[in-house]
Amino acid sequence: MTENPMASVPIFPERRKGYDPIAVDQYLHGLQRQLAQAQTQAAEAAQQLRANVPTVSGDATTEAARTLQAARETAERALGQARDKAKKHLTESKRRAQLIAVEADKRAEAARGMTTQAKQMHSKADEVLTTAQTKSDEIMAAANTTAATVNEQATAGLERTRVEAGELMRNAEQMAITEAEQVRATADYDAEQIRHHARDDAKSIRDEALAQSAKSKEAAKLAEEQLIIAAREHASRLVAGAEADADT
């Protein structure tokens, strides 16, 4: 404790929400030591005063008697003052000690109440912590179960997806092959139709050309015959004219 033990009401360090009992004991012991020192000093002062008073004989003068009486009175006053001071100091020390004890009791009672409340709060905290831990364990267990279930479902779903994907791939390949065959068959059919139409067109063109050629030949023959007839008629007319000229 750093405070002066003679201060009015010292401030003790607190321990566990109350005054430190060691500091209180030290303060009370300090007061007791000071009281003992004051009493010792008062006794020593009185003894010293008595020792310093000179011894006078029965034939001492009146002045010496008055001086002796004055010295004795001074010693008695000093001793009385020392006793009064010691008594006052003792009373004040007891009062301070009582105040300290009352305050210490109050603090101790408050500390006990706070200790009880702290124990209750600690118990409540332990209960809440236990409940929270139990709830956390339950949540973790449920989460692990859910995670395992989801993992199993995901694995099964992935396997189904792989199977379905393989089946879809096979179906797609088969459909592609079928469509390719259909396209090839359609192309072959279209090519055959084109070739057939080409043959028909070529035959039509050839027939038309033959017909046109026949018509041309027929026209040429007719023209030739007409020319021959005309030439014959002209020759006949020339012969007839020549004969007529010859007759004349």
With cut-offs at 50, 70 and 90, classify the pLDDT of residue 65.
Answer: low
- Give 1's contacts (C-beta < 8 A, 6+ positions apart): 10, 12, 13, 23, 26, 27
More confident residue, 218 or 30: 218
With cut-offs at 50, 70 and 90, classify the pLDDT of residue 10.
Answer: very low
The predicted model gives 72-78 an average pLDDT of: 65
Q: What separation, in Å, do the N-terminal and C-terminal C-alpha atoms of the chain show?
A: 196
Residue 38: name the closest of 6, 78, 4, 86 by CA.
86
Q: Tell me what pLDDT residue 200 has.
A: 82
Report the share of the chain in percent with pLDDT over 90: 0
How many CB atoms are located within 10 Å of the residue 32 CB?
14
Gap between the Cα atoms of 195 and 192, Å rounded: 5
Which tokens hold the place of 37?
């020192």
Q: Tell me what pLDDT residue 169 has.
A: 86
pLDDT tens digits along 158-168:
788 788 888 88
Each domain of the chain, given as residue ranges in start order, spans 21-131
Q: Tell me what pLDDT residue 202 has.
A: 80
With cut-offs at 50, 70 and 90, classify the pLDDT of residue 82.
Answer: low
Query: Radius of gyration over alpha carbons of the chain, in Å?
Result: 76
The predicted model gives 186-193 an average pLDDT of: 85
pLDDT tens digits along 192-244:
888 888 888 888 888 887 888 888 888 888 888 888 887 788 777 777 777 77
The predicted model gives 42-57 an average pLDDT of: 56
Cβ 72 vs Cβ 43: under 8 Å: no
Gap between the Cα atoms of 129 and 50, Å rounded: 78
pLDDT tens digits along 110-127:
767 666 766 776 677 677
In degrees rounded to 5, what are phi and psi of residue 169? -65, -45
More confident residue, 170 or 80: 170
More confident residue, 57 or 140: 140
Environment class of residue 114 by beta-carbon count within 10 Å: exposed (0-12), middle (13-18) or buried (19+)? Answer: middle
Cβ 27 vs Cβ 117: under 8 Å: no
At 36, the amino acid letter reads A
